[in-house]
Chain A
C-alpha cells in the first residue's frame, strides 16, 4: 500500500515536473520576440505587417511585434533610454550616417558573414549596398528605393523639334533655350528647365546638380570634397551661366529675378496644378514616385494608362559632356534602411527577421506597385508582375552602376545636404560673391560637424 502511495506520489511529481518543463518549453518559445518599429501607416503598414506574418510563419516559435507610425526621433529616444525596438526603419538613407556613426544601429558584418548570413552583393543593387555603409561600417539593410531621375514633357519637346531627352548639360541648355517662352511683360511663360534650389525638389536640387557633374561629396581622405573636387565649382558655374543665358538674355541678375518670381508662382506640388502637369515647365528632375502622380494627377499607384494632359518620359540626368560614356543613364538612388538597435536583447532573431524582410520579393513588388518604390533587390521577382512602359526607365536608373546616393557621414540629420542646398540657393540669388571661398567654408563646416560627431 505504502509502495503504491509512493509510486503515486512519484507519478504525480513526475507529471507536475513534466508539465512544468513542457510549460517552460512553451514559455521559451513564446519569449522569442522581436520588436519592429517602422514609420509606415495605412496601406503601407498593412503590406509591411503581411510580410511580418510571412516571417513569423516561416519561423515557428518566433513572435514579431510590429509598431507603425514611428519616426526616427522616437526610435532614437527609445534606443537611448534602453527600451528601443530590436529593429527600426528609417525612410531614406540620410540617417544612416547618424545611426551607424553614433552606434544606435549595430554593425552587421559578423552576422552577414555567419551561418545565417547574406551575400549582399548578389542580393542588392550597387547603390543600395553603398548607401547602407557609413565610415566603412555596415549597419543597415536596404528596403525599397527612391529614384531621382529626369522628367521630360514629350509633347513640348516634340513641338520644339526634339525627339529624345537631353543627354548632356550642353544639350539641356540648348533645349531649354528653345523651350522657354516669355509673356509680353517679360515674365517667364514656359520654362525649359530650372536648375534652381527650391523649385519643388525636396531640398535635393544641389545633390542632383552635383550628380550631373559627377561631383564627389567626400574625397579619398574622407574629408568633405566641396572645395577640393573642381566639379562642384564647375556645376555651380554652369548653373549661373544657364540662368543668365536661358532666362536673362546673358544677364544673370535679370534671369535670377525672373526665376524668383516664376518659382513663387509655381502650382501646388501634389495634384494637377503641378507645373509639370500644366506644361509650365518642360523638363525637371524629380523622384520616381512623382511619376504615377504626373500620370494621373491624383494617385501614387501605377496606372496602366496615363490620363494627364501631357505625355512624359523619364530618363537619367543629363550629364557633363565628358561623362556621357560612363555616367549617362544614371540618377540619384536612395533607400529606406533598417538596422538592429543597440541594446537589442535578441540580435540573432532580429537578424533573421531583418534579413527576411529585406529580401521579401512579395513585399517589394507590392510596395512598388502601390507607391512607385522600386526594390533594392536584384531579383526580378521584386518587380510588380505588371507595370506600364513609362516606368521601365526607373528600373534602368536603379540598375545603372553610376547611380548612387552621396556618401553619408555622421552629420546628424544630413546637415551637409542642407548646407549645400543653402549655398546653391544663395549662389542662384546672386548673394554669394566668391564661390571658391564659399565652397571652402562649406567643406570646413562639414568637416567640423563630422569631427565633432566622431
Chain B
C-alpha cells in the first residue's frame, strides 16, 4: 500500500519550477487582426457545423423528403423511433453490444501490445512501426481484406482452423452469430493508433516508482497493479471516452463487410447505418435528423457519466483536468 501512496504523492516538477522563468513581453495585437486570422475557422464552423446542426435540429421535427419543403410534424419522428421502429432498437442493441465488447477489449489489447513493445532492448522502433502500420491501412481496404481472410471457403483463418482439427469452423461474416466477432477482430487488428498513446503513457511512468516497488519486493503483477495501472488511468480514461464516442458512430467497417456478404439478419446493422439508410436510401431526412439528435444525446449522457465517475478511478499526478 505504500506503493499506492508513493504513486498518489508523486508529482513531477512543473515546467519552470525551481528556475526563474524569463518575463514574457505581452504582445499588443489588434482584435481585428486576431479576428481576421480566426475568420476561416469561424466561417467554417458556422457554415459546416453550426448551420447543419441547427438545420438538422429543426428538420428532426419535420417530414422532409428532399423534394418538398419540410413539413412540421412535432414529436412524431421521436414517437415513431421509440414505439414503431423495430430497426431503431435493433441498431441500438447492436451498437451497445459492439461498444460493450470492443471498448474493453481494445483498451486491454492496446495496453498489452504497448507493454510488450516496451520490452525489446534492440530494434524497438521497428517493432513499433510494424504494430502501428495496420492502423494506417484505410478502413475500407482493411474491411475488405478481412472479409477475404474470414471467407468460410478459402479464407486462411478457416483453413487454419480446419488444419488443426476444427471440423465446422464458423462462417464469420456470413453467419449472424459470428459476424460481430469478425468486426471485433478487425478492430483489434487496427489498434495501432491507440497503442501508440498507451506506449507513450507507459514510457512516461517514472522508473523511480518501479525501483521503489522492486526494493519493497513487489512482484511483476504487483508492479503492474499498483504502479503501472494507476499511472495509466488518464490514458485509459481518454481512450474510454473516445472509444465510446467512436463506437456509437461505428459505420464503415460494418457497411463494407455487410456489403460483401448477405447481412440479412442485420447483425451488422448499427445506429449510424440506420441513420445512413434512413437518409440516403429511404430519403427520410426529417426522421434521420431525429435519429442523429438522439444519438448525440445518448453519446453525451454516456460521456458525462464517464466524466462524473472518473474522479473515483482516474489518477492524475498533477491533479484532475476536470475539477
Q: Which residues of A contact B (CB under 8 A)?
A: 73, 76-77, 79-80, 98, 102-104, 197-198, 260-262, 264-265, 342, 411-413, 415, 418, 421-426, 429, 431, 448-449, 452-453
Contact = CB atoms under 8 A, between A and B. Distances in A.
B59 interface: no
Interface stretch (B48-56, B133-141, B186-194, B258-266): B258-266
Contacts of B47: none
7 contacts: A76-B67, A102-B68, A102-B283, A412-B284, A413-B281, A418-B281, A429-B264
A264 B152 contact: yes
A264 B264 contact: no
A453 B284 CA distance: 9
A52 B152 CA distance: 50
Contacts of B284: 412, 452
Contacts of A73: 280
Contact of A425 (B67, B68, B153, B262): B262
A260 B265 contact: no
B151 interface: yes
Contacts of B63: 452
Interface string B84-114: 1000000000000000000000000000000
A264 B154 contact: yes
Contacts of A262: 153
Q: For the side of the interface on B, what is the size category? A: 20 to 34
A197 B262 contact: yes
B264 A102 contact: no
Nearest to A98: B283
Interface centre among B63, B65, B68 (most CB of A within 10 A): B65
Nearest to A261: B153
A231 to B, nearest CB: 21
Contact of A104 (B67, B84, B154, B282): B67
A102 B67 contact: yes
Contacts, number: 69
A361 B153 CA distance: 47
Contacts of B266: 422
Q: Is the interface of A mostly helix, strand, loop or mixed?
A: helix
Contacts of B316: none
B171 interface: yes
A449 B282 contact: yes
A425 B175 CA distance: 11
B66 interface: yes
Contacts of A415: 281-282
A103 B265 contact: no
Nearest to A445: B86
Contacts of B152: 260-261, 264
Nearest to B84: A448
A103 B68 contact: yes
Interface centre among B152, B176, B281, B283 (most CB of A within 10 A): B283
Contact of A412 (B84, B174, B176, B283): B283
A347 B171 CA distance: 55
A206 to B, nearest CB: 11
B290 to A, nearest CB: 13
A253 to B, nearest CB: 12
A264 B281 contact: no
A356 B258 CA distance: 42
Given A426-B264, A426-B265, A412 B153 contact: no
A452 B154 CA distance: 44
A264 B282 contact: no
B262 A79 contact: no
B67 A80 contact: yes
A437 B172 CA distance: 28
A425 B174 contact: no
Interface centre among B63, B174, B280 (most CB of A within 10 A): B174
A413 B278 CA distance: 10
Given A421-B264, A431-B176, 8 more contacts: A198-B262, A261-B152, A264-B152, A413-B283, A422-B264, A426-B265, A429-B262, A449-B282
Contacts of B174: 260, 264
Contact of A264 (B65, B171, B280, B283): B171
A429 B264 CA distance: 9
Interface in B265-297: 265-266, 280-284
Interface string B63-74: 101111000000
B264 A260 contact: no
